[in-house]
Every structure is written in C-alpha cells, then in structure tokens.
Amino acid sequence: MPHTIALVDDDRNILTSLQMTLEAEGFQVRTYTDGESALHGITARPVDLAVLDIKMPRMDGLELLQRLRKQSALPVIFLTSKDEEVDELMGLRLGADDYITKPFSQRLVIERIRALLRRNEVARGEGSGTPASGVLTRGSLTLDENRHLCLWKGANVQLTVTEFLLVKALAARPGIVKSRDQLIDAAYGENIYVDDRTIDSHVKRIRKKFRAVDPGFAQIETLYGIGYRFKEE
C-alpha cells in the first residue's frame, strides 16, 4: 500500500509542484493551505508523514506540530526559510524529525521523505527483509521496536521516530560514549547532513520527556566536547 503524505503550506505553487512530484513517485498526497484545516484533516484521516511550512495563516506550523505531538509520534519534516533559524530550532525542540531549507530541490524532498519513512520502519521493527529485533531492556528502560513503545519504570514515554532511534543507539551499549556524528548516522542514516545542534536539541527534548514521568531521570549523560552516553544502572 502506498504511503500517504500530508503537505501543509500556504504557497499553492509549492503545494502543486510537490504534490505532482510525490504522486509521480507513487505516494498518495493530501494538501492543506493552513494549519487549522491540516489539524482537522490529519486527525480525521491519519497519514504516514507530514511536511509542514512554518509561516501559515490561522495556525502556523509550530503550533500545528505541537498539537499533533499531543496525539501521536507522526513523522514530521519542516520547511524553513534561510532567515528562520530560531523557528527551525524551536521546531526541533517541539519534536520535528527533520527540516529542509527553502529554496529546495524536488529530489531532495523525495530523498528526505523516503529516508524518514525508512527510519520509521526501522524504529517500529518493520524494515523490509530484516527481522524485527524485538525488545531492548536496559535497567528501567524498555524499548519495543515492534510497537514503537518506550517505557521508563513502566511509564510510557512517547518518542518521535528520530528520538526513538537516538535512545536506541545510546541504550544499545550502556556506558559507551557516542559522538554526535555517530548519533546522526544512527538516527538519520548516511549521506544526510544535519549539524550538531540538531542532535543537541533532540537530546534536550528526550530528557524533558523522560523527566515528565520521572523527575530524577539522569541516564543520558553529556560529555562536553565528546558526545553522549547512556549511564549503566
């Protein structure tokens, strides 16, 4: 079954061109010109991935993402302009999985969408031709890839695709330091460029989510100038 993509942008030229390109690649596409209509549409008929612009009428992309995150861990890619660095970082803090800077090539968007969908399958243990790796347990942490489920001391911690893969990469080898480059490869795959601050923003949000269920959570340690590690219990 083809994946369904939601495109949300108030620029109809971008919507039309992206829709045509994605449909030519075999995707099903739904388009929305503002955040409010997108929220209603995606809530009523869930999609596999959403591509959101930031500056939109009625409800901007940041607020839309925040509301979507209350419902699910839907994979989300942000479209940002070169002068929207602050919004870009805020999007990552709110839980966006990736971002693309305008102007962009159609091929780049296709590659990022396919990469994120593959990461989603890996996080859920559904990789094509690859057996599900099952459940990873590290002390109070349980990661169930088949159900995209993260538990800390029995409490559910809702993680995005990227966040799940980062936690998995750290927890797979407790006590071993992972550099930011290693974490980028684990969460994004090779040949996709993101900078160090992207990983830092994701880790900050991951900690916030764990501390929401356990204020004393301190398992993800920062080694300044080196990277991060999952502390052994």
Report the C-alpha gap between 10 and 232 in whole angstroms.
48
Whether residue 161 has pLDDT greater than 90: no
- Looking at residue 130, its pLDDT comes to 38
The average confidence (pLDDT) of the chain is 85
Report the C-alpha gap between 43 and 188 in whole angstroms.
27
pLDDT confidence bin for 91, thresholds 50/70/90:
low
User: Using an 8 Å Cβ cutoff, are 175 and 221 in contact?
Assistant: no
User: Using an 8 Å Cβ cutoff, are 76 and 95 in contact?
Assistant: yes
The residue to which tokens 């088949």 are assigned: 146
What contacts 24+ positions apart, CB below 8 Å, involve 97-106?
97/160, 97/161, 97/162, 98/162, 98/188, 98/194, 104/79, 106/17, 106/18, 106/21
What contacts 24+ positions apart, CB below 8 Å, involve 210-217?
210/152, 210/157, 212/157, 213/152, 213/153, 213/155, 213/156, 213/157, 214/152, 214/153, 214/155, 217/152
The residue to which tokens 């994605």 are assigned: 22
- Looking at residue 191, its pLDDT comes to 59
Report the C-alpha gap between 125 and 102 in whole angstroms.
33
Tokens at 204, concatenated: 């900050």
User: How much is the average pLDDT of 200-214?
Assistant: 92
- Please report, rounded to a whole number, the percentage of residues in the chain having pLDDT higher than 90: 44
User: Using an 8 Å Cβ cutoff, are 218 and 176 in contact?
Assistant: no
Predicted structure pTM score: 0.65
